């Protein structure tokens, strides 16, 4: 056989080997990552950016870190609404229950519930800079939080304490003793009060605390079941709570007196969320991810939307008797700031128009 033919075959074999090695290397470096459904979602105040939070596993070590496999770790991601481009990606682990932006959009925070194999609770609220994606603060042993809608402040809840922080200096500003141990916490629309869900002799009620006089509190009537989320109407004087089976109660935000109730055919817990002007009330099914839109004032149903992949799953199984558990009522539904659409944690995160029902953006595709 001629030498030139052998050389040619050797060159072809070497080229094929190099191609295979490059293909394998590329597959390892950039594995296929399936779309996961966020357990919590949020809009930035500008309406141009959204955040999605996907729960995920740890690496199994102690202290735990995010799972090294990008398919399995938890992820907080920021997305451009207009283009669908991912702007930031921050890894975490555990079950995420809430994600929210600061009033100026410079910070984003997420709440994580997690227990190690031997039962050590490692819940936390972690805060990131939205420009750099860098973590700027970690508040350990906290299971709920909320940003002030008007100032650079953050309130967090632990098992026994409620504390407000300055988000510029991270100085502790004030403990709110009357809300210590609450199940959830929210700022009022004007930022001058805090609203929590507290236990009282085996029953549960809303509690409003004025920040200019923390000894001045208002309590609602007692309810038999825990209240896990409080939806605040930015405009108007309403708030809403979701209950099982399929019940939403609308309250006067100042007096905490019930105004009306909306009953649905849902069998499980429902999650209420308001449009910014307070005229529309969304009701999300935590079992299926379906959404109803009603008029807040009358309860008239305007639209109903279904999602084939809207069920909710957690990374850790918890007892139903536990009060603080991500299965209860994660923030998977939110209106856009203009009120024309809503974001739901299904199919990686979907923005759907209310009038036409068209999906205008899917994140994570």
Encoding tokens for residue 324? 């603080």
Q: Are 59 and 292 in contact (CB under 8 A)?
A: no
Which residue, among 289, 155, 172, has the nearest Cα to 230 in the 3D structure?
Answer: 155
Residue 96 falls inside a structural domain: yes
Beta strands in 123-226 (DSSP E): 124-129, 135-140, 144-147, 153-157, 162-166, 172-175, 185-187, 193-200, 203-210, 217-219
Is the pLDDT reported for residue 228 higher than 70?
Answer: yes
Give backbone dihedrals phi and psi of 11, rounded to 5 degrees, phi first: -65, -45
Residues making up the chain, counted from first to last: 365
Percent of the chain with pLDDT strictly greater than 70: 88
Is the pLDDT reported for residue 32 higher than 60?
Answer: no
Please tell me the pTM assigned to this model.
0.87
* Number of structural domains in the chain: 1
Alpha carbon distance 191, 112 (integer Å): 24
Which residue, among 216, 246, 248, has the nearest Cα to 233 in the 3D structure?
Answer: 248
Residue 9 falls inside a structural domain: no
| 164-210 pLDDT per residue, tens | 999 999 999 989 999 998 999 999 999 999 999 999 999 999 999 99
What local confidence, expressed as pLDDT, does residue 168 receive? 97
Residue 113 falls inside a structural domain: yes
- Long-range pairs for 210-213: beta carbons < 8 A, 24 or more residues apart: 211/174
Is the pLDDT reported for residue 12 higher than 80?
Answer: no
Alpha carbon distance 350, 352 (integer Å): 6
Q: Are 49 and 42 in contact (CB under 8 A)?
A: no
> Per residue, what are the HEC states of 260-290?
EEEECCCCCCEEEEECCCCCEEEEEECCCCC
Residue 27 falls inside a structural domain: no
Residue 23 falls inside a structural domain: no
Question: Which residue range(s) make up the domain with 314?
Answer: 40-362
What local confidence, expressed as pLDDT, does residue 1 receive? 47
| 265-315 pLDDT per residue, tens | 888 889 999 999 999 999 999 888 899 999 999 999 999 999 876 666 777
The residue-averaged pLDDT of 149-156 equals 98
323 band by pLDDT with thresholds 50, 70 and 90? confident
Integer CA distances (angstroms), 350 to 79, 169, 335, 363, 365, in order: 12, 35, 12, 7, 10
Residue 279 falls inside a structural domain: yes
What are 74's strand-pairing partners? 92
Cis peptide before 102 (omega within 30 of 0): no
Is the pLDDT reported for residue 214 higher than 70?
Answer: no
Is the pLDDT reported for residue 2 higher than 60?
Answer: no
Residue 32 falls inside a structural domain: no
Helix (H, G, I), strand (E, B) or coil at 167: coil
Residue 106 falls inside a structural domain: yes
Q: Which residue has the tokens 């690496």?
A: 59
| 91-131 pLDDT per residue, tens | 999 999 999 999 999 999 999 999 888 888 899 999 999 99
Is the pLDDT reported for residue 251 higher than 90?
Answer: yes
What local confidence, expressed as pLDDT, does residue 20 receive? 40
> What CATH number is associated with residue 59?
2.130.10.10
């Amino acid at each position: 056989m001629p030498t030139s033919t052998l050389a040619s075959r050797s060159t072809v074999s070497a080229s094929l080997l190099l191609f295979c090695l490059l293909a394998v290397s590329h597959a390892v470096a950039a594995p296929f990552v399936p779309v996961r459904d966020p357990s919590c979602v949020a809009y930035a105040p500008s309406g141009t950016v959204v955040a999605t939070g996907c729960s995920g596993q740890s690496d199994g070590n102690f202290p735990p870190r995010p799972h090294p496999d990008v398919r399995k770790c938890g992820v907080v991601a920021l997305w451009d609404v207009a283009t669908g481009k991912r702007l930031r990606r921050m890894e975490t682990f555990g079950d995420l229950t809430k994600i929210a932006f600061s009033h100026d959009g410079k910070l984003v925070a997420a709440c994580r519930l997690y227990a190690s194999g031997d039962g050590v609770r490692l819940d936390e609220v972690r805060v990131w800079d939205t420009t750099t994606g860098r973590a700027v603060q970690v508040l350990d042993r906290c299971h709920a939080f909320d940003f002030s809608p008007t100032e650079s402040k953050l309130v967090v809840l632990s098992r026994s304490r409620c504390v407000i922080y300055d988000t510029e200096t991270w100085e502790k500003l004030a403990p709110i003793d009357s809300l210590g141990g609450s199940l959830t916490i929210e700022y009022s629309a004007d930022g001058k009060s805090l609203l929590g869900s507290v236990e009282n002799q085996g029953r549960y009620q809303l509690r409003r605390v004025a920040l200019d006089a923390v000894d001045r509190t208002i309590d609602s009537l007692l309810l038999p079941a825990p209240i896990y989320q409080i939806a605040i109407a930015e405009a108007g004087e309403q708030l809403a709570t979701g209950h099982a089976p399929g019940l939403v109660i609308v309250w006067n935000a100042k007096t905490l007196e019930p105004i009306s109730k909306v009953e649905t055919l849902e069998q499980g817990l429902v999650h209420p969320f308001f449009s910014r002007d307070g005229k529309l009330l969304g009701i999300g099914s935590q079992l299926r991810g379906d959404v109803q839109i009603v008029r807040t004032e009358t309860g008239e149903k305007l639209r109903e939307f279904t999602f084939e992949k809207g069920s909710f799953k957690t990374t850790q199984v918890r007892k139903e008797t536990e009060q603080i558990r991500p299965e209860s009522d994660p923030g998977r539904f939110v209106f856009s700031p203009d009120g024309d659409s809503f974001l739901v944690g299904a199919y990686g995160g979907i923005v759907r128009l209310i009038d036409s029902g068209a999906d205008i953006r899917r994140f994570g595709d």
